[in-house]
């Protein structure tokens, strides 16, 4: 039968059976319609075998201008879908047979993607409010979306394809762009039989609401897709084909152009108030702009520069029509939706750009981990909640140029449609791809290109903040370009806490993932926010647990120092810290009650503010900390961390940074004080010594708390060392406290405890991680505590073995040996044996050992008093042994001087400590020429070719090799 229609009249019969099928549909005779469509399809199939792409013109139809194989197949598939929707699909969904439902409907709905669908009204009231009309295809797509969402894992590609198809139908129904509009539709009235509906009866205002809902749905689905890609860790693993992305962008552009046309028509009609429908149109325009950008960001081949260009261009487009501050909703609470999205993404792109620099690892992100009350770590840094932030935000960007992903242009109806498309035409073409090749991977960019892109991001962020919050971040004169004042720029004066909290909410994810370099970019914003949050609420400050801990006179610090680093120490410290609050949980409840809706601001603002600010007083002028201005500077910096610790009392980094602030203040007070104030003046000044003692105490207690929070051996070793140094600093006999003449430290019980505490902390640090400086200081402390000479010298020897290039260790070893020889004389055999064990010259060591053996004294015999030994010998032997001991003493003395001379060789010639000790050594030995040599050594410290009197002093950096020491003249 079919063969009889395959002849020269085939086009007629194709049209005949297709029209017959359409009439049967309208008569609700679906079986006959299926039969007629099948005949038309068979004829077309036969003709397609003879001719490629055979089509039948339909000049009499207004919308469907030609019949193709796919067009007729689409009609047949819709009949099958209608049949499945009546029973099978609904039953499958009820039985949770989601995959079966998808396998039935998806092939029918998506096998003819290039066919423009017939369109119909969707959730639109027709007469009574209970009557709603929808096409079978739209109902099937809704069912398919539900099935895709119910699968595990969610079928995001299917859902996005369904939304794309729905938007295509709705765009066509609205008569937008190049999409045809059918006059008669195959529809189904919910709860009744199918009937005809005139599409022309529906207005643009009704359709735009449905388009807006679908645009929002696409935006949400794209966000899910991006989250899935980020979580999988495969930045190139995009599940959406580039062609689908471009097709959806074309649909969104069509919707935007339609809305612009509608808004322009109203504008030409005169000044009319904005009604609810117009608000919905504006909302849809903004939603489409956001969805367009999100789709562009799904393509891993899109460069950072292209993404920034798109965001800026879209902002300009929205501003041109007064919509850049508009929202997706109709209420004021929804304002600025696009700008908030743009700020998030621009900050994320900036972070990604910086992370692609190889050297950025040196400025790594702080972990900000803090233990819970039971001592377990809990991260204070949440996962960045930017919708578009890549999972590997700190991995080097490594993408390849994409294919031509320019959005297909929709038919240009008027000049506004043309403008809309030119401003946001999706992305770059092949030529742009070549031009942008150098910026696709951050590591391949030149320095100028990187700086230019960073400046572009800065400018875009400044414009977004200004439009959204009225916050001008270019208030100073360092910027050549001014911020544009858009029609709907926020006129807010940025004077409310609500505005500040809103700003902080959107920059917080970026701050959490940024290094200090990134935080500096936010400095002006954070400063503006802090104007409204200068400090925690008064009731929180009034009973500060941090101040009480730092300044409590009844706190047994010696006991805590002894326990520091032991198991259960965190529990001990939390009990002390919250002794007046019951527990940390109760304390946090009180914070929530006091802080109200701004809890998140108080919990994070002060910490990130401190990270972004210049906190060091060392860079200021000499004597800065001695002045009131310097005291206030240190106090303000310390307050930032103290405020943060009120809300994050177990944040390791804040305790450590606070300790450093106080320690730096002490160091500068003593250094600058010694240069500007003599000892007598210092002792008369009650304020400065009190500041030193207060900051030392606070620094020690901050470090003790840091020890409770430190988790890694390296952290623990570092904090033990810092705590030991703070204790040691209180022991030194130096200006401006002491002048080493009339004013000397009192070696009382407190002095002894500080010595012991310092030694214990160095021992704990050394046990965690061996370092030459730990052994060096343990040797010095052993001397101060008057422990055995063997102990102190063995520590110096250990320091030398760990770092032979550290000049301080060599100097201290042989200066101490020289002191012992001078103090105990030539006949103290015990001291001579100890000193001989650490000779600088191995030849001297061997010779001394040989002499001691000759007089019957082994290097390590049992202790014996020299008088007892001499008493066993006769008078003649005693004189000979005295000569031998004197010879040993002179050999050891000369060995010490030789060792000290190496400490002032070459570039180390101004090492004043070694010069002074050499001068003492020569002077006390008093042999021929020694006095002159002593004068020469000492006078060298005051010689200069530029001045008649100069003091030459070097501070030795022990980590630098001998001959490359750090110089402080």
pLDDT at 658: 97
DSSP state string for 656-722 = HHHHHHHHHHHHHHHHHHHHH--HHHHHH-SHHHHHHHHHHHHHHHHHHHHHHH--SHHHHHHHHHH
pLDDT band at 108 (very low <50, low <70, confident <90, very high): confident
pLDDT tens track for 933-947: 999 888 888 877 666
Structure tokens at 909: 């010639």
pLDDT at 955: 54
What is the DSSP pairing of strand 128-135 with strand 187-189?
antiparallel
For residue 132, the cross-strand partners are 125
pLDDT tens track for 673-711: 988 898 889 989 989 999 999 999 999 999 999 999 999
d(CA 443, CA 450): 9
Long-range contacts of 403-407 (CB under 8 A, 24+ apart): 403/242, 403/301, 403/430, 404/429, 404/430, 404/433, 405/242, 405/245, 405/246, 405/299, 405/301, 405/302, 406/246, 407/246, 407/249, 407/250, 407/253
C-alpha pair distances (Å), 304 with each of 307, 389, 782:
5, 12, 60
Structure tokens at 687: 């304020």
Domain 711-805 fold: 1.25.40
pLDDT band at 560 (very low <50, low <70, confident <90, very high): very high
pLDDT band at 966 (very low <50, low <70, confident <90, very high): very low
pLDDT at 968: 35
Q: Which of 453-462, 502-511, 634-643 has the lowest mean pLDDT?
A: 502-511
d(CA 281, CA 262): 8
Structure tokens at 390: 């890549």
- Of 286, 506, 517, nearest to 385 by C-alpha is 506
pLDDT tens track for 37-87: 888 888 888 877 777 667 888 887 777 778 888 888 888 888 888 888 887
For residue 66, the cross-strand partners are 57
pLDDT at 865: 56
- Of 329, 573, 307, 320, nearest to 456 by C-alpha is 307
Q: In this prediction, what percent of the chain has a pLDDT beyond 90?
A: 35
d(CA 937, CA 900): 11
Q: Is the pLDDT of residue 882 over 80?
A: yes
- Of 901, 904, 910, 898, nearest to 943 by C-alpha is 910
pLDDT band at 782 (very low <50, low <70, confident <90, very high): very high
Q: Is the pLDDT of residue 550 over 50?
A: yes
pLDDT at 632: 95
Q: Report which of residues 197 and 488 the model is more confident about.
A: 488
pLDDT at 408: 34
pLDDT band at 508 (very low <50, low <70, confident <90, very high): confident
For 312, residues 6+ apart whose C-beta sits below 8 A from its C-beta are 456, 460
pLDDT band at 962 (very low <50, low <70, confident <90, very high): very low
Q: Which of 230-239, 292-301, 630-639, 937-946 has the lowest mean pLDDT?
A: 230-239
Say how many residues make up the chain: 969
pLDDT at 953: 60
Q: Is the pLDDT of residue 114 over 90?
A: no
Q: Is the pLDDT of residue 631 over 90?
A: yes
Q: Is the pLDDT of residue 177 over 70?
A: no
Q: Which of 141-145, 440-444, 538-542, 845-849 has the lowest mean pLDDT?
A: 440-444
H/E stretch holding 528:
helix 523-530
- Of 332, 337, 334, 348, nearest to 314 by C-alpha is 337
Q: Which of 396-405, 449-458, 598-607, 665-674 has the lowest mean pLDDT?
A: 396-405
Region 195-200: mean pLDDT is: 38
Q: Report which of residues 969 and 881 the model is more confident about.
A: 881
- Residue linked to tokens 């805590």: 560
pLDDT tens track for 706-761: 999 999 999 999 999 999 999 999 998 888 998 878 888 889 999 999 999 999 99
- Residue linked to tokens 């047979």: 97
Domain coordinates of the chain in residue numbers? 1-119+132-152, 711-805, 825-856+872-941
Q: Per residue in 374-389, is it b (16+ CB within 10 Å) or e — as a string?
A: ebeeeebeeebebbbb
Structure tokens at 258: 């339609």
Q: Is the pLDDT of residue 293 over 90?
A: yes
C-alpha pair distances (Å), 156 with each of 101, 218, 961:
16, 11, 61
pLDDT at 4: 58
Q: Which of 205-214, 299-308, 775-784 has the lowest mean pLDDT?
A: 205-214
- Of 745, 723, 725, nearest to 735 by C-alpha is 745
Q: Is the pLDDT of residue 117 over 90?
A: no
pLDDT at 93: 84
Q: Which of 309-323, 432-446, 518-532, 578-592 has the lowest mean pLDDT?
A: 432-446
d(CA 197, CA 158): 30
DSSP state string for 89-102 = HHHHHHTT-HHHHH
pLDDT at 45: 84
pLDDT at 129: 37
pLDDT band at 438 (very low <50, low <70, confident <90, very high): very low
d(CA 177, CA 344): 32
Q: Is the pLDDT of residue 256 over 60?
A: yes
pLDDT at 712: 92
Q: Per residue in 139-159, is it b (16+ CB within 10 Å) or e — as a string?
A: bbbebbbebbeeeeeebbbbb
Q: Is the pLDDT of residue 644 over 90?
A: yes
pLDDT tens track for 822-832: 999 888 889 99
Q: Is the pLDDT of residue 430 over 80?
A: no
Mean pLDDT over the full length of the chain: 78
Q: Which of 223-232, 323-332, 680-689, 786-795 has the lowest mean pLDDT?
A: 323-332
Region 255-277: mean pLDDT is: 73
Residue 818: Cβ-neighbour burial (10 angstroms; 0-12, 13-18, 19+): buried
d(CA 897, CA 111): 96
Please say whether the dihedral angle defined by the alpha carbons of residues 183, 185, 190 and 191, taken in this order, is positive or negative. Answer: positive
């Amino acid at each position: 039968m079919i063969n009889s229609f395959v002849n020269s009249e085939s086009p007629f019969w194709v049209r005949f059976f297709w029209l017959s099928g359409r009439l049967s549909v309208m008569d609700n005779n679906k079986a006959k319609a299926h039969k007629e469509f099948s005949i038309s399809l068979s004829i077309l199939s036969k003709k397609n075998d003879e001719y490629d792409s055979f089509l039948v013109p339909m000049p009499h139809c207004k919308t469907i201008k030609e019949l193709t194989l796919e067009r007729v197949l689409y009609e047949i598939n819709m009949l099958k879908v209608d049949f499945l929707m009546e029973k099978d699909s609904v039953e499958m969904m009820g039985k949770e047979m989601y995959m079966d439902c998808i396998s039935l409907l998806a092939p029918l709905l998506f096998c003819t993607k290039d066919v423009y669908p017939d369109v119909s009204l969707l959730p639109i009231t027709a007469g009574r409010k209970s009557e709603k009309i929808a096409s079978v295809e739209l109902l099937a797509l809704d069912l398919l979306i539900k099935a895709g969402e119910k699968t595990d894992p969610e079928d995001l590609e299917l859902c996005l394809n369904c939304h794309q198809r729905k938007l295509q139908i709705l765009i066509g129904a609205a008569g937008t762009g190049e999409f045809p509009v059918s006059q008669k539709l195959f529809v189904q009235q919910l709860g009744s039989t199918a009937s005809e509906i005139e599409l022309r009866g529906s207005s643009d205002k009704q359709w735009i609401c449905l388009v807006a809902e679908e645009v929002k749905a696409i935006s949400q689905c794209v966000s899910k897709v991006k989250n899935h890609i980020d979580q999988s860790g495969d930045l190139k693993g995009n599940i959406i084909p580039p062609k689908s992305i471009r097709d959806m962008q074309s649909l969104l552009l069509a919707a935007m152009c339609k809305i612009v046309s509608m808004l322009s028509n109203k504008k030409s009609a005169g000044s009319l108030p904005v009604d609810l429908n117009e608000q919905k149109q504006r909302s849809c325009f903004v939603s489409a702009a956001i969805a367009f950008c999100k789709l562009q960001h799904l393509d891993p081949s899109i460069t950072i520069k292209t993404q920034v260009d798109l965001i800026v261009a879209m902002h300009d487009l929205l501003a041109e029509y007064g919509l850049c501050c508009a929202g997706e909703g109709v209420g004021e609470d929804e304002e600025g939706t696009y700008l908030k999205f743009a700020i998030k993404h621009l900050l994320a792109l900036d972070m990604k750009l910086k992370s692609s620099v190889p050297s950025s690892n040196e400025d790594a992100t702080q972990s900000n981990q803090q233990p819970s009350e039971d001592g377990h770590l809990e991260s204070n840094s949440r996962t960045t909640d930017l919708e578009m932030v890549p999972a590997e935000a700190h991995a080097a960007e490594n993408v390849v140029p994409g294919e031509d992903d320019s959005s297909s242009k929709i038919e240009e109806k008027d000049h506004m449609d043309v403008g809309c498309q030119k401003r946001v035409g999706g992305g770059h073409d092949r030529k742009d791809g070549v031009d942008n090749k150098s910026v696709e991977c951050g590591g391949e960019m030149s320095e100028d290109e990187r700086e230019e892109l960073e400046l572009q991001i800065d400018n875009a962020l400044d414009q977004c903040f200004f439009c959204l919050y009225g916050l001008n971040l270019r208030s100073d004169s360092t910027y050549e370009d001014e911020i544009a004042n858009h029609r709907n720029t926020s006129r807010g004066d940025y004077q409310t806490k609500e505005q500040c909290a809103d700003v902080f909410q959107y920059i917080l994810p970026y701050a959490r993932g940024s290094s200090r370099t990134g935080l500096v970019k936010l400095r002006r914003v954070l400063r503006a926010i802090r104007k409204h949050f200068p400090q925690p609420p008064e009731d929180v400050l009034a009973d500060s647990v941090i101040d009480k801990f730092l300044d409590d006179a009844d706190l047994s610090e010696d006991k805590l120092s002894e326990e520091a680093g032991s198991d259960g120490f965190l529990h001990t410290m939390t009990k002390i810290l919250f002794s007046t609050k019951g527990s940390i949980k109760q304390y946090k409840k009180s914070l929530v009650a006091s802080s109200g809706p701004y809890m998140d601001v108080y919990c994070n603002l002060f910490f990130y503010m401190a990270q972004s600010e210049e906190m060091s007083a060392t860079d200021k002028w000499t004597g800065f900390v001695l002045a009131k201005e310097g005291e206030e500077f240190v106090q303000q910096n310390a307050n930032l961390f103290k405020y943060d610790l009120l809300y994050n009392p177990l944040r390791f980094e804040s305790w450590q940074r606070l300790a450093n602030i106080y320690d730096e203040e002490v160091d500068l007070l003593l250094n600058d004080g010694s240069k500007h104030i003599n000892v007598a003046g210092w002792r008369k000044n009650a304020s400065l010594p009190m500041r030193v003692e207060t900051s030392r105490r606070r620094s020690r207690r901050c470090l003790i708390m840091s020890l409770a929070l430190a988790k890694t051996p390296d952290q623990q070793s570092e904090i033990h060392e810092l705590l030991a140094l703070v204790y040691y600093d209180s022991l030194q006999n130096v200006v401006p406290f002491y002048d080493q003449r009339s004013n000397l430290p009192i070696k009382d019980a407190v002095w002894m405890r500080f010595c012991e505490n310092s030694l214990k902390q160095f021992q704990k640090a050394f046990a965690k991680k061996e370092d030459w400086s730990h052994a060096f200081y343990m040797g010095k402390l052993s001397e101060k505590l008057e422990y055995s000479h063997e102990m102190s010298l063995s520590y110096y020897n250990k320091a030398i073995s760990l770092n032979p290039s550290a000049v301080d260790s060599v100097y201290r070893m042989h200066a101490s040996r020289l002191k012992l020889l001078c103090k105990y004389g030539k006949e103290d055999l015990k001291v001579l044996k100890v000193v001989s064990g650490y000779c600088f010259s191995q030849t001297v060591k061997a010779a001394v050992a040989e002499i001691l053996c000759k007089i019957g004294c082994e290097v390590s015999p049992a202790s014996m008093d020299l008088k007892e030994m001499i008493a066993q010998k006769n008078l003649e032997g005693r004189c000979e042994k005295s000569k031998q001991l004197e010879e040993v003493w002179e050999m050891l003395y000369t060995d010490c001087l030789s060792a000290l001379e190496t400490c002032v060789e070459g570039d180390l010639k101004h090492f004043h400590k070694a010069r002074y000790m050499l001068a003492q050594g020569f002077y006390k030995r008093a042999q021929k020429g020694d006095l002159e040599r002593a004068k020469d050594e000492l006078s060298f410290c005051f010689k200069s070719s530029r001045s008649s009197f100069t003091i030459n002093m070097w501070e030795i950096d022990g980590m630098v090799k001998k001959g490359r020491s750090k110089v402080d003249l």
